A and B are shown apart, each in its own frame.
Chain A
Amino acid sequence: MRLLIVEDNVELSRLVANGLAAAGYESDIVGSTEEAREAVHNVTYAAMILDLGLPDGDGLSVLRELRRQMEPLPVLVLTARGGVQDRVNGLRSGADDYLAKPFAMEELVARLEAILRRPGQLLGRSLRLANLVYDTESRQIFIDDKPRIISSRETSVLEILLRRQGRVVPKKNVEDHIFGLEGEVASNAVEVYVSRLRKQLTEHGAKVVIHTIRGVGYMMAEEK
């Protein structure tokens, strides 16, 4: 699995490449939009880490071009501009995620893996948190490597929380994920499923915890 780093600062790109190598990912480094276009054209990469401020233009132009060509390559945008507006512009141009400099290497790797884990991407099969593993294709749950049975709706809740572990998932998203377009849903349905899921996870000895952020949603994290 090869990654492409598009970053004009030689020092930073080398450090990022080393960091990714330590996490088990090989990468190529290019320093301009022109080289990036050429690299994407010639090699099939698993994902691209794209800096926005490049000497020969804006990284977003490369991204827009890729998306116009219906190129599904996952892109993580790196930028020195951390404003929400920049983030919105980046995501609208087709970025999968966005990271402001300076960033922690761990976070870069985590975000990258989150992108790669999205449906259709290379890490799409299993989601992992502490001693809990979820296979997204077979919808099977393993705790301490032993398969466990959890009811269907609760499994849906688990999946969405696990995909965005460590981050808050709005209640509305959980609701949509469980019920889809089923129409009228009881207002406390999500609460009910979350509390059942909590109970089942505890019974099975999973070392994870589902936090309720009142008024907003839920967040799954490792138990500490």
Chain B
Amino acid sequence: MAWGGFQIGSLTGSTVRAPSFKSLISRIVFLHIIAVAVVAIFLPLVLFWLLNSEIDQLHRAAMRAQAETLAERIAVQGDGKVTFNLPESLRGLYSEAYGRYQYDIRDDEGRLLFSSHRKTGDVSSDTISGAEVTQTVDSATFHIRVGEDLSHRDVITDDIVSNFFRRVGWITIPILLILLAIDIFIFRRAIAPLWRASEQASNIGPARTDIRLPTEQIPREIVPLVTAVNQALDRLEDGFRVQRQFTADAAHQLRTPLAILRTRIETLGNSAVRQLLRDDIEGMSRIVAQLLEIAELDTLVLDPGETADLRAVCAEVVGAIAPFAIAQHKDIALKGAEEPVAVRGNADMLQRAIFNLAENAIKYTAPSTSVDVEVCGDGAVRVRDCGPGIRPSEQTLIFQRFWRGDHRHTDGAGLGLSIVREVVDDHAATVAVENLPTGGAQFTLRFRLAGEASAPWSAQPD
């Protein structure tokens, strides 16, 4: 019943003005309740009608049997006189005092010959129902009618009929409600694989294109949809693969000419122009590198089981940046945890994010001051500088692509912090920025520890 209701609802939902339920279950419950109500009303009525007619049938059969008993007592004498001999045992039954049963015996012309009730002489009143038999005795035809006064009817049959609603009719409602509950249970079980599939689907993103929806246990009616979605995902993944290949090719195509240009400039005589050109190439290479880095991040496929040692990553970053920092008479130090801090994520990507933060901090920190990179045991990394800090109004803007706080002093394209944001988003991590009371800015990256059960993008490996 539930499935019938569901199909009607879903097929004609747009044309029939039915309440529009978003949930299949509530749609089923709604239609089922209507069906239960209709059945609960009509089923007892039908049963009641059937019971009544059955009792009438029974009653008529009983009357007919009585009439036939009476008919056997009719006799025609030799002189043509008709006699009717009611047995003693039946007299009480047809007595006026008892008043329950009546009989009439008429001849073919309709003349009343014998009757239990002289007063009325007629059994066809409203409250009397009965049966009629025709008996032929010695070529004379007699009509015997036996009736029962319904107002005096048998108490037992009366009780059955009048108590039917009270005693039996209500049982349809609980039965139908149990059916409803069973239907809901069956339906929920049937769509449970769909819930799992949608959970799986929620993990799909640019960083996870390898996930496919499971087709096992999916109801057969829905398998075509799931298969079609999976095929669509296959095509999308192919597209991504082409994109990744393009990124690698673009890297080669852009960087080799840059390398040629750079090397050629170095062969120029030692002049001021040469230094300027070198700086230009430097800036351009940086932008190309960052653009490619972003393109790579956009298409990178994360392995959900991957973990990285945050401390080792930070140590590598600090080691890589230290020579630049020292060249600018600035300092950089690694602080915090002495032991490895295992977090969920790709070491390469974490390194890029932290590198960009640290590089940015070195750029803005005042000469002869230090940038601190602090690793915390809870998966956080803090990068502190002693620069001018970041105006509150700009604290969200800085993570946008191509945003630059001070156009005169920056050599990059304003992509560094957007790379940080991208890595953070891919890792379901967070990044926050605040100004320190002592001056300077502090960026806090917070990654998930490897021990923590569920990062959103790693809820279920295939």
A-chain residues with CB within 8 Å of residue B251 when the two chains form the complex: 80-82
Q: A213 to B332, alpha carbons, bound, how many Å? A: 6
Q: A6 to B261, alpha carbons, bound, how many Å? A: 19
> Are B259 and A216 touching (Cβ within 8 A)?
no
Give the tally of cross-chain contacts (CB within 8 A). Answer: 99
Contact flags B141-178 to A (C-beta < 8 A → 1, else 0): 00000000000000000000000000000000000000
Contact partner, B318, options A18, A100, A101, A215, Cβ 8 Å? A215
Q: Please name the residue on chain B nearest to A7 by beta carbon.
A: B256
> Are B326 and A16 touching (Cβ within 8 A)?
no
> Are B323 and A219 touching (Cβ within 8 A)?
yes
Residue B255 is within 8 A (CB to CB) of chain A in the complex: yes
Contact flags A85-126 to B (C-beta < 8 A → 1, else 0): 100000000000000111111100000000000000000000
Contact partner, A213, options B281, B296, B334, Cβ 8 Å? B334
> Are B323 and A83 touching (Cβ within 8 A)?
no
> Are A85 and B348 touching (Cβ within 8 A)?
yes
> Are A16 and B263 touching (Cβ within 8 A)?
yes
A-chain residues with CB within 8 Å of residue B248 when the two chains form the complex: 81
Known contacts A9-B260, A80-B256, A103-B259: does B348 contact A216 (CB below 8 Å)?
A: no
Residue B118 is within 8 A (CB to CB) of chain A in the complex: no
A-chain residues with CB within 8 Å of residue B261 when the two chains form the complex: 102
> Are B267 and A9 touching (Cβ within 8 A)?
no
> Are A18 and B252 touching (Cβ within 8 A)?
no
Contact partner, B334, options A101, A104, A106, A215, Cβ 8 Å? A215
> Are B320 and A168 touching (Cβ within 8 A)?
yes
Question: Which of A11, A101, A105 is packed against the most chain B CB atoms within 10 Å?
Answer: A101
> Are B267 and A18 touching (Cβ within 8 A)?
yes
Q: A84 to B316, alpha carbons, bound, how many Å? A: 12
**Which interface class (under 10, 10 to 19, 20 to 34, 35 or more) fits B?**
35 or more
Residue B319 is within 8 A (CB to CB) of chain A in the complex: yes
> Are A83 and B296 touching (Cβ within 8 A)?
yes
Residue B285 is within 8 A (CB to CB) of chain A in the complex: yes
Residue B266 is within 8 A (CB to CB) of chain A in the complex: yes
Contact partner, A216, options B258, B266, B296, B322, Cβ 8 Å? B322
Min Cβ gap B351→A in Å is 6
Q: A221 to B329, alpha carbons, bound, how many Å? A: 13
Contact flags B263-274 to A (C-beta < 8 A → 1, else 0): 110110000000
Min Cβ gap B184→A in Å is 51
**Which interface class (under 10, 10 to 19, 20 to 34, 35 or more) fits A?**
20 to 34
Q: A103 to B333, alpha carbons, bound, how many Å? A: 27
Which residues 218-266 in B have Cβ within 8 Å of A in the complex? 248, 251-256, 258-264, 266
A-chain residues with CB within 8 Å of residue B332 when the two chains form the complex: 213
Contact flags B96-119 to A (C-beta < 8 A → 1, else 0): 000000000000000000000000
Residue A166 is within 8 A (CB to CB) of chain B in the complex: yes
> Are B323 and A216 touching (Cβ within 8 A)?
no
Min Cβ gap A22→B in Å is 8
> Are A53 and B318 touching (Cβ within 8 A)?
no
Q: Please name the residue on chain B nearest to A81 by beta carbon.
A: B251
B-chain residues with CB within 8 Å of residue A219 when the two chains form the complex: 322-323, 326
B-chain residues with CB within 8 Å of residue A84 when the two chains form the complex: 347-348, 351-352
Min Cβ gap A222→B in Å is 11
B-chain residues with CB within 8 Å of residue A104 when the two chains form the complex: 262, 266
> Are B323 and A9 touching (Cβ within 8 A)?
no
Q: Please name the residue on chain A nearest to B311 by beta carbon.
A: A215
Q: Please name the residue on chain B nearest to A8 by beta carbon.
A: B256
A-chain residues with CB within 8 Å of residue B263 when the two chains form the complex: 12, 15-16, 19, 102, 105
> Are A15 and B252 touching (Cβ within 8 A)?
no
B-chain residues with CB within 8 Å of residue A31 when the two chains form the complex: none
Which residues 298-338 in B have Cβ within 8 Å of A in the complex? 315, 318-320, 322-323, 326, 332-336
Residue A170 is within 8 A (CB to CB) of chain B in the complex: yes
Q: A104 to B258, alpha carbons, bound, how many Å? A: 11
Residue B82 is within 8 A (CB to CB) of chain A in the complex: no
> Are A80 and B255 touching (Cβ within 8 A)?
yes
Residue B289 is within 8 A (CB to CB) of chain A in the complex: yes
Q: A46 to B434, alpha carbons, bound, how many Å? A: 53
Q: A15 to B267, alpha carbons, bound, how many Å? A: 8
Residue A37 is within 8 A (CB to CB) of chain B in the complex: no
> Are B322 and A12 touching (Cβ within 8 A)?
no
Q: A216 to B281, alpha carbons, bound, how many Å? A: 31
> Are B256 and A9 touching (Cβ within 8 A)?
yes
> Are A168 and B319 touching (Cβ within 8 A)?
yes
B-chain residues with CB within 8 Å of residue A53 when the two chains form the complex: 252
A-chain residues with CB within 8 Å of residue B319 when the two chains form the complex: 167-168, 170, 213, 216-217
Min Cβ gap A143→B in Å is 22
Which residues 164-201 in A have Cβ within 8 Å of B in the complex? 166-168, 170
> Are A215 and B333 touching (Cβ within 8 A)?
yes
> Are A15 and B264 touching (Cβ within 8 A)?
yes
Q: A167 to B254, alpha carbons, bound, how many Å? A: 28
> Are B258 and A101 touching (Cβ within 8 A)?
yes
Min Cβ gap A223→B in Å is 11
A-chain residues with CB within 8 Å of residue B252 when the two chains form the complex: 53, 80-81
Q: Apart from A170-B315, A214-B335, what 8 extra A-B contacts exist at CB < 8 Å?
A: A53-B252, A84-B352, A101-B259, A102-B258, A102-B263, A215-B315, A215-B336, A216-B322
Show the binding face of A for B, using Cβ within 8 Å: 9, 11-12, 15-16, 18-19, 53, 80-85, 100-106, 166-168, 170, 211, 213-217, 219, 221
Q: List 24 A-B contacts (CB under 8 A).
A: A9-B256, A12-B259, A12-B263, A81-B248, A81-B251, A84-B347, A84-B348, A101-B256, A102-B258, A102-B259, A102-B263, A105-B262, A105-B266, A166-B323, A168-B318, A211-B326, A213-B318, A215-B373, A216-B315, A216-B319, A216-B334, A217-B319, A219-B322, A221-B323
